[in-house]
Structure 1
Amino acid sequence: MKVLVLLLVVCSLQASLACMCAWETPQQKFCRADFAIRGRVISTSPQGQMSIKYLVRVTEIYKGADLMPAQDVEILTASFDSLCGIPGLQVNTEYLLTGHKSQGDLTISICNWIEKYDDLTSSTRQSLTAVNCDDTV
């Protein structure tokens, strides 16, 4: 009986620590973001046990040009999806990345719009240069 109670407590604790994001459309995620870029992951490296640093070569800036210090930028995320991190970006793959500037660092999370660029439809790709953030709720 004690084992069952302990198991229930542990399961409840894990569920309460899971990442939760409000549901948003891609346009809302884009508009809420500090930056939106098309970029190719050049490398990935752990930053301790809790975060990952991606080195990303920026190929196009849709939003936040003032936040991009160079063609190659470092973007941080949590190491675990349960902490809202994006641990699975692949080296040599191009992505649409939206995110925030937090304490001087560029950051991404599962609450942002992160998608392989090749998976975007042609109409979505074209609309990225003309997103109207005045119409978002």
Structure 2
Amino acid sequence: MKLTIYVIICLVLINFISHAYGCSCAFSTNQEMFCSATFVSKGKVTGIKNLEGNKFEYTVAVNHSFKIKVPNTLKVRSGDPFMCGVDLQKGVVYLISGYVSGSTYHTNNCHWNQEWQSIKSDTRKKLFKGQFNNC
């Protein structure tokens, strides 16, 4: 009986540890995340497509580009949320940032991806005024 309880406890701990180490990002300020990204845009997620290998492609209707000019309809790829990917919801407006590889846009949990409504108003003003562009 004690062995069974011990085994169950070990399995639960291993499960938590594996999820905890699935993704690790260094703490970064908004300024650092802005500067490390190739693109930073505000947009509404209009579609989500499952791709092979636990990857997702988000279709985003872009309202504003803060760094480089991106297409009005942006396809952004990300991995599974348990492996540093993002979990964006259809119909929600986000600040989305990431990098470009070839002609493909990518993002992950280490980039600045945040629901627009949860961003403080002074931070939004700084974005629109270009005050994060001092990289």
For normalisation by structure 1, the TM-score amounts to 0.81
Unaligned runs of 5+ in 1: none
Q: Pick from 60, 63, 77: which aligns with 2:67?
A: 63
Q: Equivalent residue of 1:63, what SS?
A: coil
Is 2:57–2:77's contact at 8 Å kept on the other side of the alignment?
yes
Q: Equivalent residue of 1:64, what SS?
A: coil
Greater Rg by CA:
2
Unaligned runs of 5+ in 2: none
Flag the 1:115–1:12 CA change in 2: closer, same or farther, 3 A.
closer
Q: Percent identity?
A: 24
Is 1:17–1:82's contact at 8 Å kept on the other side of the alignment?
no
| CA drift at 1:104 | 3.1
Look up the match of 2:109.
Answer: 110
Flag the 1:122–1:44 CA change in 2: closer, same or farther, 3 A.
same
Look up the match of 2:74.
Answer: 73
Look up the match of 1:14.
Answer: 18
| CA drift at 1:11 | 4.4
Q: Pick from 49, 52, 62: which aligns with 1:48?
A: 52
Q: Equivalent residue of 1:124, what SS?
A: helix
| CA drift at 1:102 | 2.5
Q: How many residues align?
A: 129
In structure 2, C-alpha distance between the alignment counterparts of 1:74 and 1:34, rounded to whole Å: 15
Flag the 1:9–1:126 CA change in 2: closer, same or farther, 3 A.
closer
Q: Equivalent residue of 1:29, what SS?
A: helix
| Aligned amino acid, residue 33 of structure 2 | K
| Aligned amino acid, residue 115 of structure 1 | Q
For normalisation by structure 2, the TM-score amounts to 0.82
In structure 2, C-alpha distance between the alignment counterparts of 1:34 and 1:60, rounded to whole Å: 15
| CA drift at 1:7 | 3.7
